[in-house]
Structure 1
Amino acid sequence: MARGPGDTDMGEAAAGAAGTSDAAAAPSAPGGADASVAFRCTHVLEGHTKAVASVKFTPDGRLLASGSADRTVALWDLASGARVSTLAGHACGVSDVAWNPNGRYLATAADDNSLKLWDAETGACLRTLTGHTNYVFCCNFDGAAGHLLASGSFDETLRLWDVRSGRCLREVPAHSDPVTSAAFSYDGSMIVTSSLDGLIRLWDTQTGHCLKTLFDRESPPVSFAAFTPNAKYVLCNTLDGRAKLWDYAAGRTRRTYTGGHTNTQFCISSGFLGASGGAGGGGSSSSSSGGASDLGCSMVVTGSEDGSLVAYDINTGQVVGRGAAAATAAAATTAAAATAERGAAGEAAGAGAAAAGAGGGHTAAVLSVNVHPSAPLVATGGHHPDNSVRVWAASRAEPAAA
């Protein structure tokens, strides 16, 4: 499922659930001279023909994978912007991609009710994991050994897989509505899931027991959840235009991020930029934290339905930066001309290189966000008809002139 109505196979289910939200659009965030962090678009990676539902950097930060409703996964070389490989084999749109800890293998989740394991070096499909009875919406490897894969589905279950054997180790009836995320803590001991039922749940990986259920009075549909890098807190996105940081041990919200992004329709992911251990403390996790110690603050970065990338100070909740909400006319014209010159053959070889540095923003909702593991870079994926992957470099913004 492509996190919104970009793929007719799944869009109606997601859009229908999301459509129950009647939250007003968030006001525009400060940017430019008012923002403390600046985002510059360094690469526009083109070639997908439908919405880009998921983007993930390899653990070494050398490659970027993008999964799309067009049923394919593209692997991009970050240095050149070239598409180095295309993985095809799913019968329906790809909803999520995930790298194992050494970056050799890639897992994909798709609307054909299956997951696939790929050898990223050869492009070979090693296994197809079946058992879910509806769209498989999300997947993640454990960050410790990488032998376990968690998946969440529209069939409302969480499944845990042994990737070496392809065997399903556990099926958990996790929620009463579609599961929108399933992510491990950095040590692999816990899994957090979120759902359109408005609940966030924490699970013991070994036993499958539910350790905690998090919800608030409104309980809007939860479209994304992940542990902070130190696993002390859980970040979630909800379809009332908010992101929240939960202290799950205390069972309360520590911080709410709002006013900078809009999110009432699509399942949009978030990440941590410059968050050395997240909200206090050290540690690492598959939730990338980015090497951004010179940016002045630790941030939550999230996509927005207006086409922008938004950064909040993780501790104060203030908007501190924004990636362009839309491409300028000049940038759009340049990108279109470059695409026309490349032609079909050029697109297949790697459409991103010629568009690198175009500098514009997405022209449709930003569905997917992922932070580079060691550099202050953020990747984003756009909804149809934008269909692009963009890479953003973050830097401290220059103060406004007097």
Structure 2
Amino acid sequence: MTNDQTDSDGDEHGDACDNCPSTPNLTQRDADGDGLGDECDPDMDNDGLANGGDNCPDVVNADQADSDGDGVGDACDNCPSVANVGQADADQDLVGDACDTDTDTDSDSIQDNLDNCPSIANSDQKDTDSDGSGDACDTDADGDGILNTNDNCPLVPNGGQADSDGDGVGDDCEGDYDNDGVPDGTDNCPKNAQVFTTEFKRVMIIPLEAPDDGPNCNWQFLAGRTGFFQRDEGDTSAAVGDVSLGSVDYEGTFTIESTDDDFVGFVFSFQDNRKFYMVNFKEADQQLSTPAISDQGLHLKLVESSTGPDLDLQYGIYNSATSPGQVTLLWQDKSVRWKPNTFYHWKVLHRPNIGLIHFTMYENGKFLSTSGNIYNSRLKGGRLGPYSYSQRRILWVYLKYSCNEKVPQAIYDDLPPALQAQVEVEDGTYQPSGV
């Protein structure tokens, strides 16, 4: 700790905590997590290739493969088979306009011609044996000749099926179900070798209103890549990561260091800038100059915008009531409001396979509100991130996403029998990790 307020590069981050103390970098983005900000890191993805000669400077790709010859490496090309050097992506779904069909039969955020299970929702696109058929629709996910239903290590090839302790779990995956080197107890996604911890690395800032001449949101990245700081009041936007998940527990903590009265929250199952779920929290009732009226309190909404980011979507997000063609209100609690300098911890469970959403909010470690079981099957997976609307001085920390197909006992007990038959009950008490 120091009293020295020196800020050599004038970027509003003091030298003592600036990851590029001699180079202005307001966002503090650090793609490879090495403590050196991207603006001053000569190899921002740490793949051994200097940024200037790297066709994916923020994505590890030592092979520099570029199938379509457009100068953008396959690892970061949003149309790897179609030349599109500009990488235009109007709906911000990570698929370039040059190859974006917007056809997604199973509503899992992956368009059909890119989906390894086009008729079964699998937003994570897990394909353990790399045979082109996703685990969700592959009867032998690890390709060892033993069907998943009979395989004691369905994600690890083990033709011998050795099981020394006779517990039904094969020796080759005991304690590490997906064989990714991370023990199941500390693995955020023990059945997905591609995801084992929470990291917001390749974050996309998503504008959710029409462009104007006003201030843009100032999203700043915190060290560790599990948090953000919103310094200034600005446009409606979300900071969305590149990890796509289906059944998920998503939680985090935020506090607001100001006395403004606008919105703070988060998005999940984010598929593009027209389709996502969101939770927003309003400090007080307010009416815009238009008919849009916002009640204080918590709101769970489904966004299915016919227009995408424009004034109508902005007002639909602001308005508490359903706005046809833009936003559907799924649940609200008008009895609560956010207070400055107070810590709020949330947890949302999304189980797309049964259309279940369950949201809980805590205030300074004590229960504040819950949605109970909400049922909506419109969106079946996508990306995650925090969100703000015209609110400043917001700190989001301890963000965490975990793959989870089971449900806690209390939530299970409130499910209709037909849905209970489709899910398993998890062990332990339902308690977010930050409480």
**TM-score of the alignment, normalized to the shorter chain, above 0.5:** no
Q: TM-score, normalised by structure 1?
A: 0.28
Q: TM-score, normalised by structure 2?
A: 0.26
Larger Rg: 2
Higher relative contact order (CA 8 A, sep 6+): 1
Structure richer in strand, relative to its length: 1
